Structure 1
Amino acid sequence: MSGKNLVAGPPSTQSGGVWQVNRTMPTLSNTVTDPDGDKANLTFAVYTTDAFGNPDKQIMIKDEPYGVLVSGYVNSGGTAKVTVPDGNLKPGTTYAFRTSAYDGSLYETEWSAWGKFKTRGRAVDIKLPEPDKNAPVLNEDDFQEPQPIGKPNVYPVPPEVPPTGYSAPENVTRPQGYSEKDGWSCGEVNKETNIQPCSRLVPDNSKKTRDALTKEGFGVTAGLPHLVDWCDTRNLDIKRYEACISGFTYEYEGIVVKDGKPTGEILNASWAVGQEVKLSGTSATFTQQLVLVPIQVDAKFISVTLDVRFDCMMPDRCSNGPQSWDGALEWLGADPFSHTAIGKNDHTWNAVNKADTLDLSTKITAYSPVANPAASRWETADAQIRCDTISSTTPGCAFHKYVPTWVMNFKKTPQAVAHAWLIQSKLSNHPGSRSANKPIFFLPSADKNAPGRDPNKNRDVICPKNSDGTSWASKYGNPRTTTVPEISAGDKPSCDEFAYASSYNSGGMPGGVVGGMNPVASGDACVQTYATRVTQGEWRLYDDERLTGPAWNEVCGRSAMSGWINSTSMGGAFSSGFSGKYRLLDKDPYWVSFPEFGHCDASKATVTCTVPKA
C-alpha cells in the first residue's frame, strides 16, 4: 500500500505544506509497503489545483497509458519515484498528486493522501518581435562616440635655428616664475633689448579660445575648415580613425630683464591651437592638420614668427610629407589678427613590420626681431597610432587606444540580441558593459592570437556537437525552441553563447597562460535560455523551465534558438562590419551596446521586458 511520505523535488523543501520545486520536470516519490513483503510499484496521478489550493482536474500525462506515471518495482518499505516528463507542467504553478500501489497481482483499492508541489516561476520572460530578414545593415560608425583622452605631454626643447642664424645654448637660466615644471621653455636673453623669451603650451578651454578655434579669427562668421568634422564641438577626444587635440594656447612671452632680474614688464603673444588627425583603415598614409589662431601679439614684439614641425617621431617606421600652409607664419604686432594659419602634413607608415605603433610630435619655435627663439614640443600618448597588416593584408592605421562599440542588429535578430543583453546586464562579470567598465577582449583566428587558440574550441566547450555532428541544441535544447524555415529552408535549432567564442571572455576559453577570464568545464554551467514563438508576431526569450533556474552567479550564457537567427546575428556583420572595419587585433577591447533595451531593468529577480518598448 502507498505510504504517507509524498515528496516532490528537487529540492525537497516545503513552504506551507507545499513542496517547492525548482523545475517543471519534478521527481515525485512515496514509500510503498506490501503485507506479503512482495515488491510493488506506485501509480502517480497529477492534478491541477483550484484557487483554494484543492485538487481540481487530472493532468493526462502525454504519451503515457491512462495519463498516469508508473514507477518501477521496489522492495517493500522502499521509495518509488517517477519524473514528470517535459511539456506537462507549467512554471510557477501549484499541483497536487497521489499514488496507488500494485504488487503484480493486486491493486490498492484506495488512493494515498494528497501531496502538493509548486513549480518554480520563470526567471526570464522577454517579449520580442519577429526577426526581419530584410532589415538594413547597421552602420557601426553611427554608434561610435568620441572618447576623451589625456592632456598632451609638453617638453621644453632647444629651438629651431631661425633665419637670423641665431642658436640658443642648451642650458639657459630661467627667469623666476618660469619653471620647467609649469611647462616653460626659455631662450637666451637678447643682449641688445634685454628681453628673455619663454614659451609653453597650456590647456585653455575658455570661451575665448573655443571661439577662436570655431571661427576664423574674432568677429568673422566663416567657420574654420576641419579635417575632422566633429572637432568644432570637441577638444581632447578620439575615435578609431579621428582625433581632436585642441583646447590649448601656445604662449610666447618676452620677459624684460635688467641686471639679470625681471623688471616686471612682459611682452605677450599667444595662439589658440587646434590639432586634428585623420587616419584610414585602408591606407598606410594619414593626414594631420594644425590650426593657429592669434589671440594676441604685443606691438612691442614688432612681429612674431613661428617655425612649426608636426612630424611622425619614428623616421624608421614612417615618413613625413612636405608641409603646406594656408596663411603666413608671421604675425605683425601692428595687425595681430590679420590672418589664421592652417597647416597640413601627410605621413606614411613604411609597412615593413606587420604592426607598428607611431607617435606624432609637434614642435613650435617662436622668435621676434627683439626676442630670441624659444620652443616647446608636445605629444599625446592617448592618441598613439597603430598600423598593421594583420587584421587585413591591406595596410591601415587606427587609434588603438580607442575602444569601439559593437551594436547587434536588433531588427534582424532580436532573439540573439536579447540573449546577449540579458547575460551582459544580469551577470556580475557584465561582458562588454561600458557602464561597468568590463570590455570584451577580441580573440582572432588561431594564427593571429598569442596563445594560438582556435575560437571554435571555445564554442565546442559551451556548445558541443552531438555525435552525429548536429548542434547541441537539436538534442538537448528546449524542445519549444522555434526555427524559421520560412526565412531559411531547413533551419534547425542552434546553440548561441555569450560572451562570444571569439573572445577571451568566453566561458570556453581556458584560464591560466591561455588567458581565459571566465573558464567553465562545460556549457552546463551557463545560464540556460531558449527563444520561442508564442504566436505569430510574438516571441519570448525564456529561461529553460525544465532545469534549475539561474542563480545569476554564472559567468556565461547558453541559449537554444533558430540556427538562422544565431548565425545571422554575428556572421559577416561582426567580421566585416566591425572587427575588420576597426582593425581589431588580439586582445583589443570593445564594448557591446543594446540601444533598444535601455528601458529594461535587469536588477529584479525575474527579468521581464517588452522590446521594443510598448
Structure 2
Amino acid sequence: MSGLSRRKRILPKLAVATVAVMLLGGGGIAAADSSGATLGWDYSPASRPAAGPEALAKANNHRPESGKNLKAAPGVKGANGMWQVNSTAPTLSNTVTDGDGDTANLTFEVYSTDANGNPKEQVKLTNPDTGKPAAYGVVVSSFVTSGGTAKVTLHYGDLKANTTYAFRTSAYDGGLYETNWSAWAKFKTRGRTVDIKLPEPNKSAPAVDLDKYQEPQIGRRNRPEEVARAAKVAGKGSETCTDHGQKITCIKVGKPSDLSAKEKQDVADKLRAGSGDLVPWCNGTGVSVGKDYLKRDSACLKWATPIVFKYLVKGPDGKIYNPADAHFASAIEIKLNPVSRKFTQRFALVPMDPFIVQRGTIGMPGPFTMIPTFKCSAECTTAAPVWDGSPTWQPKGDIHAAYATFNHEWTGGTATKVSSLQLDWTIAGTVQGGGQEIENDPQWLGNSTPDFDIRCDAVASATSPGCVFSAYKPTWVMNFAKTPAAVAHAWLIQSKLPSHPGSKAADKPIKYLPASVRDSNLNREVICPSGWAKNYGSPDTTPIDTSDTVSCDEFAYAASYNSGGMPATLGGMNEVDTGNDCVQTYASRVAPGDWRLYDDTRTAAPTWKEVCGRSSMSNYQNTQSMQPFSGTFSSPSKYRLLDKDPYWVAFPEFAHCDASKAAVSCTVPKP
C-alpha cells in the first residue's frame, strides 16, 4: 500500500481525534493547529475539521471542490489581481461544487503577508456569530447548493486597516472534505480617513460665553441717496428745500464718502460721548464709520449720514446766495430686549469741522435747531425724544454734539402674533433771523428695511413677548472642553460635506426646527433609531466612565431643517432614507487623555459627498453638547429663535485643522 493511500485511510481517525501532525507537502511557512502541532502549507483541510467530522460512509463519494472565483468585498480587483477592500470587516466568498450534487460549505483561512505579498502568518479569526475565537482560527460559511457562492463576513477587529492579507478556502459537503486548499487570493483593507485626537472630557468645564462669538453683521437699509439714484420717489430724494420768500432753507443728506477722514474720526470719538452707552460694541473692534451693523438685540448705524443745513437768501439781482450752512454727521444706535415689548433708539448729531461755513458778511442770522423724528410703524408707539445736549446751535463757535433718545413700545401681541416693525427717520430744522423763525420741511433720512426691521413676537413665549433683529444670524458654539467628541464630529461634517451645515464661510446656515412645528425625535429615528449605538455602533466606542453609556449623535442636528431625517415634503434640505447613508464615525479612548474620533472602518470610507453624519459616542458627550442650546441659545430670553430662523455653528478650537484633504487628521487643541 502506498503512503498516499495509507494517509487517506487514516484521515477520518485523525479528524475525529483532531490531532494532525502529517505533512503532505512541507512547502512554505508552517502553522500550528489547536493541539499545538505544526503544519505546512499543504496540510489536509480534514486535519483541522472546523466544518465538522468526515463520515466513513461517504468515503467513496465525490469530494466537494472550491471554485476559482475568490472575491473580497466591498471592493474592486486591481490590475495586480489584489482586491482593494473598502472595509476592515470584509465579506470573503468563493464558489463551491460537489460531484454528487450535495450542498457544501467553505472554510475560510486568512493570512497576513510579508513584504513581497506572500502568506506569512495565520490570522486567528473570530466566530462572527459568537464573538469568540473560532475553532482552528478559521470561519465556516453556511451550506449552499452545488455551484453556488459561499461567503463569510469577518468579525470587526480581526484585521488591521490599510493592510494586505491573503485568504483561501476548502470545501466540505457534510461528510467529506476537499483534500487540498484553493489558490490564494489577496486583498488590502482600507485605511482610516478620519483620525482626530482629542483631550479628556472635562465635566466641570464652565459654560461657553455665547455673546463672545456674536460678531457684528453688516446690514442694509434704505437711504435717500440710494432711493434717489434707483428711482424718483416722491419725498425720498436726498434734499428738501423750503421757500420762505426772500429766504430759503434746505436740508441735504449725503454719504460717508462726503466726509473727510478727520470727520469720520470725529464721529467715532463723539458717538458715545452722550449719557451712557446704549450699544457698547458700537465703537468696538471691527466696527467702522461708513457701514451699518447689527446683532440679534442691537444695531449700530454708523453710515454716518452727512447732514447739511443750508441757509439761502435772494439778492436784489434776483440771484440766490448761500451765505452759510451747517455740517453734521449722524449715527443711530438701537437697543432691543428679547423679553420686552420696549426698545430704544439713540440719534447722535455730531458737528463737523468747520461746523458752520460762512460766506461773505451775512452768515447764519441766528441760532438754529435740528428736529429729528423717529417713527415706528403700526402696532408701535413712540415717546417724545429725551435730549442729552441741546439740539440748538449758536451761529458762531458752538460745536457741541447732541443726542436724542427715543423710546418705543410694541403694542401688538397674541400667542400666535409675529409683527415686523419698520423704523423711519426724518429731520427738519428752524433758524432765527430778523425776529422770525424760519422752518424747513422734513428731509427723509431713510428707513430700516430690509435688515433693520424689528421682529416682535409672543410665539416663542406668550408670557414674555420680545423683539429681535431677525436678519441677524446668531452663532452657536458647543462646549469643546466638556464634549470634545461631539464637537469634533460636528466640525468634521460641516467642514467636509457639500451641505456644510451651519458654515458661515460657505453661507449655509442651519435652519431652526422648533418642537412646536415638528417633533425632532421623528428626524432622529431616521438617522439614529432607538438602540442603534448599542446594537450596531462601533464596538470600540468608549463611554467616559462607568455611569455612562453609548449613544448615537447626528449632524446636522435633528432639530433643524438640515437634518437628514427631515422629509423634503416638510422643507427638509438633505433627506436620506436611513442613517446608513451618512458618514459613519465613532469616538474612542485609546489611552488616558487620548480620545480619537475615527471613521468606522467596518463600512465603506466616506466619499465626502454624503449630506449627514452619524457617530457612535459617549452618551454624556452627545447629550451634554446640546443641552445648553434650548436653555440659552434658542430660548426667548437669549436669541429668540422661531421656525426656520437661520444660525451659524462655529468651532474656534479647530481653526488650525486642515479639512481640504480626503483623509482628515488633526490634534485638538493645537499642540
TM over 0.5: yes
Counterpart in the other structure of 2:471 = 401
Deviations 1:220-242 (A, max 9, x none): x9788532112225241111111
Cα distance 1:188–1:75, how it changes in 2: closer, same or farther (>3 A)?
closer
1:379 aligns with 2:447: yes
Counterpart in the other structure of 2:584 = 528
Alpha-carbon distance, 1:37 to partner: 4.7
Aligned partners of 1:199 and 1:375 also within 8 Å: no
SS of the aligned residue for 2:406 comes to strand
Aligned partners of 1:423 and 1:498 also within 8 Å: yes
Paired residue total: 573
Unaligned regions of 5+ residues in structure 2, if any?
1-64, 127-131
1:389 aligns with 2:458: yes
Alpha-carbon distance, 1:11 to partner: 2.6
Instruction: Find the aligned partners of 1:34 and 1:192 in 2 and give their Cα distance.
Output: 119
Aligned partners of 1:238 and 1:244 also within 8 Å: yes
Cα distance 1:281–1:106, how it changes in 2: closer, same or farther (>3 A)?
same
Alpha-carbon distance, 1:367 to partner: 2.3
The partner residue of 2:419 within 344, 356, 362 is: 356
Instruction: Find the aligned partners of 2:320 and 2:379 in 1 and give their Cα distance.
Output: 48
Counterpart in the other structure of 1:169 = none
SS of the aligned residue for 2:243 comes to coil
1:607 aligns with 2:670: no
The partner residue of 2:240 within 183, 186, 191 is: 186
Instruction: Find the aligned partners of 1:390 and 1:493 in 2 and give their Cα distance.
Output: 36
Q: Which has the higher contact order (CA 8 A, sep 6+)?
A: 1
Aligned partners of 1:183 and 1:201 also within 8 Å: no
Cα distance 1:43–1:270, how it changes in 2: closer, same or farther (>3 A)?
same
Deviations 1:82-127 (A, max 9, x none): 2212221122111111122233333333322211101111121111
Counterpart in the other structure of 2:309 = 252
Instruction: Find the aligned partners of 1:306 and 1:521 in 2 and give their Cα distance.
Output: 68
Structure 1 stretch displaced more, 323-332 or 348-357: 348-357
Cα distance 1:566–1:534, how it changes in 2: closer, same or farther (>3 A)?
same
Instruction: Find the aligned partners of 1:575 and 1:442 in 2 and give their Cα distance.
Output: 11
Task: Write the mapping of 1:437-516 to structure 2, written as runs, cut at 5 A.
Answer: 437-446=507-516, 449=517, 453-465=518-530, 471-486=531-546, 489=547, 491-512=548-569, 514-516=570-572
1:344 aligns with 2:405: yes
- Work out which of the two has the higher radius of gyration on C-alpha atoms and give 1 or 2: 2
The partner residue of 1:209 within 249, 263, 274 is: 263
1:328 aligns with 2:390: yes
1:583 aligns with 2:646: no
SS of the aligned residue for 2:473 comes to coil
Counterpart AA for 1:380 = S
Aligned partners of 1:432 and 1:590 also within 8 Å: yes
Cα distance 1:586–1:38, how it changes in 2: closer, same or farther (>3 A)?
closer
Deviations 1:541-572 (A, max 9, x none): 1111111222221111111111111110002x
Counterpart in the other structure of 1:5 = 69
The partner residue of 2:601 within 535, 541, 545 is: 545
1:200 aligns with 2:253: yes
- % identity of equivalent residues: 50
| RMSD of equivalent CA atoms | 2.6
SS of the aligned residue for 1:531 comes to strand
The partner residue of 2:216 within 146, 155, 170 is: 146
Unaligned regions of 5+ residues in structure 1, if any?
158-177, 466-470
Instruction: Find the aligned partners of 2:479 and 2:563 in 1 and give their Cα distance.
Output: 21
Instruction: Find the aligned partners of 2:225 and 2:102 in 1 and give their Cα distance.
Output: 96
Counterpart AA for 1:367 = T
Instruction: Find the aligned partners of 2:117 and 2:319 in 1 and give their Cα distance.
Output: 95
Instruction: Find the aligned partners of 2:234 and 2:611 in 1 and give their Cα distance.
Output: 50
Cα distance 1:455–1:483, how it changes in 2: closer, same or farther (>3 A)?
same
Counterpart AA for 2:649 = V
Alpha-carbon distance, 1:334 to partner: 1.5
Instruction: Find the aligned partners of 2:244 and 2:238 in 1 and give their Cα distance.
Output: 18
Deviations 1:281-303 (A, max 9, x none): 22221222111111222451233
Alpha-carbon distance, 1:190 to partner: 2.9
Instruction: Find the aligned partners of 2:246 and 2:607 in 1 and give their Cα distance.
Output: 82
Instruction: Find the aligned partners of 2:329 and 2:666 in 1 and give their Cα distance.
Output: 50
Aligned partners of 1:46 and 1:68 also within 8 Å: yes
Deviations 1:384-407 (A, max 9, x none): 111222223312211111111111
Counterpart in the other structure of 1:51 = 115
Cα distance 1:72–1:405, how it changes in 2: closer, same or farther (>3 A)?
same
